[in-house]
Structure 1
Amino acid sequence: MTLRLADIGVNLSDQAFDVDRDEVISRAVEAGVTTMILTGTSLEESQQVLNLANQYSEYCFSTVGIHPHHAKYVQHSTMAELKSLLMENKVVAIGETGLDFNRDFSPRQAQEKVFEQHLELAIETGMPLFCHERDASERFAEMIKGCRDQISRLVIHCFTAEKTALYRYLDLDCHIGITGWICDERRGTHLHPLVKDIPSDRLMIETDAPWLLPRTLTRKPKNRRNEPAFLMEVVKEIAAHTGKKEAVIAKETLDTALSFFNLHQ
């Protein structure tokens, strides 16, 4: 029996999917991934993934936001335009937003200002936040701490950090998104003992496709592109390190995702 899964982070508008987007969705559904959250990282891309969510409406939903990499491009009208997109039925979260002090593609001051604007939107609308954080967990936690009680729900997507950061987020009642990073024997093994510390109602899974192809795949695609159909690899790895059955991980993460994004399926 194919297990039902929810992939909370798919970059379906990426050009890597331009050649076979229909087939990617079909393979995902065949693999049991019947709920996919498409990630918006700029105003333009937020509109694109919304269009895709409407196109594949049976299985897909979208987020609306500005990635910290793009914070320096935000104009006065940007947030108002984002806010108008939040009214669309298929939009289920604000983001991708947050802080990236690893690459610093945008000045940190600009990142913080734009993140703060997203926090204000979440407080105003009651919508959950889909967040990115790299090498900035202390500042990130500091920024959300004062308003956490006013934010409905918040997920740290593609969590790859250490135990200190994980506990910092769990103490702030955040959800955690785990990707194929956990399947990478070169850099993801530190996550193996940590996943059992994430409460079942706080854990969600994602591919972050087309990136982070699970290295545990026995037959890897020649193009090295990740896609939602490979999400089960993340489930298997989490099951291996929590002592839970794969079916339990699948159900728990699906139920948590449906609740987090306020979906009724």
Structure 2
Amino acid sequence: MIDIGVNLTSNRFDKDREQVITRAQEAGLSAILLTGTNVSESKHAAELCSMNPQFMFSTAGVHPHDADNVSNGYLADLEQLALLPQVKAIGECGLDFNRNFSTPENQQRVFAEQVALAQRLSMPLFLHQRDAFQAWFAILEPYLSSIPAMVAHCFTGNEAELKQCLEAGMYIGITGWVCDERRGKPLFDIVKHIPLDRLMIETDAPYLTPRNIRPKPKSSRNEPAFLPYVVTKLAEAMSCSEQDIIEYSTRNSARVFALE
């Protein structure tokens, strides 16, 4: 199993980061991809990979929440990070009109700049989108044939949006959101439309702890070791075996992020 979305730079892991990594390996994970959300966090993620370079890889990007705060030289900083062997994608980048922690104008500018960077560097994109689908897709559409891969990280959209992403050739990252019988039921109902060769799995730790963990963990913090619970729920929703989920998602992730 490969967890393509781990926010391991979060201070919620400061006290036991090494143990979290060990538990992930003991749970059967073969690699984890650390998420970069701004220049500083992207640098931190790349540095953390040195703890276990065969197991840990990272992305470099600016999350839409941070778009208002980029420096004039942020793109050059991201490009330098992208040269590091452990950095495998540009992102997490995209649009988030749900919270608007940054202005929509700045979000779209910074997103478009990162998409162009991914094209220039011929690197995959690790994408975020919330309540901004049409504007998000419009920025990506001109690049669909010229970027090696696009991964819709933590997909929580509707069926029409899912099918549009699939028709565009994107990979779909599914988190523990699918395990939430309340908020995640609409996602549970549509993941059957994802071809196995487009599926990736992720925890988005420390967020989105799967609600099907038994016994329920004492802490609300999610971690990569909980990825098997996402696999179990996906197998149920997609009417296939857990082994199918593991084999296909691992193969997809290893190929797209050059982890082989």
- Match of residue 58 from structure 1: 54
The SS at the match of 1:45 is helix
Deviation for aligned residue 1:28: 0.4
Distance 1:219 1:226 in 2: 14
Distance 2:238 2:182 in 1: 20
Tell whether 2:78 aligns with 1:86: no
Distance 2:63 2:210 in 1: 24
Tell whether 2:127 aligns with 1:137: no
Tell whether 2:104 aligns with 1:116: no
Distance 2:195 2:256 in 1: 14
Q: Deviations over 1:64-119 (max 9, x none)?
A: 00000000011211111111110001000000000001101000010000001111
Distance 1:244 1:168 in 2: 23
Aligned pairs for 1:239-258 within 5 A: 239-258=235-254
- Match of residue 6 from structure 2: 10
Does structure 2 conserve the Cα–Cα contact (< 8 Å) formed by 1:61 and 1:92? yes
The SS at the match of 1:166 is helix
The ranges of structure 1 where at least 4 consecutive aligned residues each deviate by more than 6 angstroms after the TM superposition are none
The SS at the match of 2:235 is helix
Distance 1:220 1:70 in 2: 33
Identify unmatched segments of 5+ residues in structure 2: none
Deviation for aligned residue 1:164: 1.3
- Match of residue 143 from structure 2: 147
The SS at the match of 1:62 is strand
Deviation for aligned residue 1:221: 2.2
Q: What percent identity do the matched residue pairs reach? A: 45
Which of 218-227 and 23-32 deviates more? 218-227
- Match of residue 30 from structure 2: 34
Deviation for aligned residue 1:58: 2.0
Distance 2:35 2:143 in 1: 24
Distance 1:63 1:220 in 2: 31
**What TM-score do the two structures reach when normalised by structure 1?**
0.97
Does structure 2 conserve the Cα–Cα contact (< 8 Å) formed by 1:39 and 1:63? yes
Number of aligned residues: 260
Work out which of the residue numbers 166, 173, 190 in structure 1 matches 2:169. 173
**What TM-score do the two structures reach when normalised by structure 2?**
0.98
Tell whether 2:98 aligns with 1:102: yes
Q: Deviations over 1:204-224 (max 9, x none)?
A: 000000000000001222221
The SS at the match of 1:210 is coil
Q: Deviations over 1:6-45 (max 9, x none)?
A: 0000000100000101110110000001210000001000
Over the residues paired in the alignment, what is the CA RMSD in angstroms?
Answer: 0.8
Distance 2:128 2:33 in 1: 15
Distance 1:45 1:145 in 2: 28
* 1:119 partner letter: V
Identify unmatched segments of 5+ residues in structure 1: none
Distance 1:83 1:115 in 2: 15
